[in-house]
Amino acid sequence: MTRRRLRAVPRAEAAERALVREAAEKWKKAIIECRANGNHQWDGWTAAHRRGFYDVSQRCRRRCGAERHTVLDEAGYQLEKWKPRYTDPSYLMHGHGRMTAAGKAELRLIMLAMHSVIEVEDETA
């Protein structure tokens, strides 16, 4: 029983990792960076005023294609939570929900592969 349970978890993790590897092949570098870092770099305010309200939008500075939008009243109070919008249809892995810890781990390895890594030999005494 215990053995079966131990096998099931790595299989789900391997599937999640494969899914992320496949999705990442379509992602531009900025998407991989934003997803691996777990954040966007929101920049700039584009605002439209209509009677009583400001519609405010921001874009991600890394140009991953993510935007977010909120509404302020004329006194500057935020009336809605920021809502994200992804202009790149590959950004979200549709039908797969949120990325798990295994998916995020795979994404970090992809991120490392995009950068130079210094090999360090530990000294043996």
Binding site for Zn ion (CB under 5 A): 34, 40, 60, 62, 64, 66
Record the tokens describing residue 48, joined without a space. Answer: 């439209």
Q: Which is nearer to Zn ion, 32 or 102 (CB)?
A: 32
Distance CA 83, CA 57 (A): 9
Cβ proximity of 37 and 109 under 8 Å: no
Q: Which is nearer to Zn ion, 20 or 60 (CB)?
A: 60
Q: Is 33 left (phi over 0), alpha (psi -120 to 50) or beta?
A: alpha
Smallest distance, Å, CB 88 to Zn ion? 10
Smallest distance, Å, CB 14 to Zn ion? 27
Q: Which is nearer to Zn ion, 78 or 87 (CB)?
A: 87
| Residue of minimal Cβ distance to Zn ion | 60
Smallest distance, Å, CB 99 to Zn ion? 15
E strand spans, the chain:
42-50, 53-60, 66-73, 83-86
Distance CA 99, CA 105 (A): 10
Q: Which is nearer to Zn ion, 42 or 53 (CB)?
A: 42
Smallest distance, Å, CB 15 to Zn ion? 26
